Amino acid sequence: MLTGPFEDVEVGAEVSTRGVTVTETHVVQFSGLTGDQAWLHVDAAAAEAGPFGARVAHGLLLLSMCGGLMYEHSSEWALANYGYDRVRFTAPVFLGDTVHLGVSCSAKERETADNGVVCLALDLRNQRDEPVLVAQQRVLVAKRGTDR
């Protein structure tokens, strides 16, 4: 399982999240919230003439949505989000595409008396099951009986 205390997390365990449609609203709000107004995301006319033929979602919006999709599967034993490694944007996501996330435990590291680090492999896919983002995440997870 992925959501218990450190001892119970098993390398190889997997979960698959709900899907969410990446809408024009998401892209416009994300541009505004962050200030990234790059033409590939906000200018439909320029994007139509560009490499993908249409506006695409920001890579960091997709990574952020991974955080939201994982929220419903997050462990109450998680103490902190250490960070991300090897985040790669592997295919464009267009406005109207629907993505869902696969998460698996790839390793357990740095075990101490109280906690340890769980390494997660993130695999975000679109409605055609094509990978659009892969990443590794490291989360600090408490052991059973520790005072969280």
Enumerate binding residues for a second copy (CB under 8 A): 18-21, 23-26, 28-39, 42-46, 55, 58-61, 63-72, 74, 80-89, 96, 98, 127, 135
Closest CA to 131 of 95, 97, 107: 97
Please, what is the minimum distance in Å from the beta carbon of residue 63 to a second copy? 6
Name which of 12 and 35 has its Cβ closer to a second copy. 35
2: three-class secondary structure by DSSP: coil
CB 48 within 8 A of CB 54: yes
Nearer to a second copy, 10 or 68 (CB): 68
Nearer of residues 48 and 111 to a second copy, judged by Cβ: 48
Q: Rounded to 5 degrees, what are φ and ψ at 23?
A: -95, 170
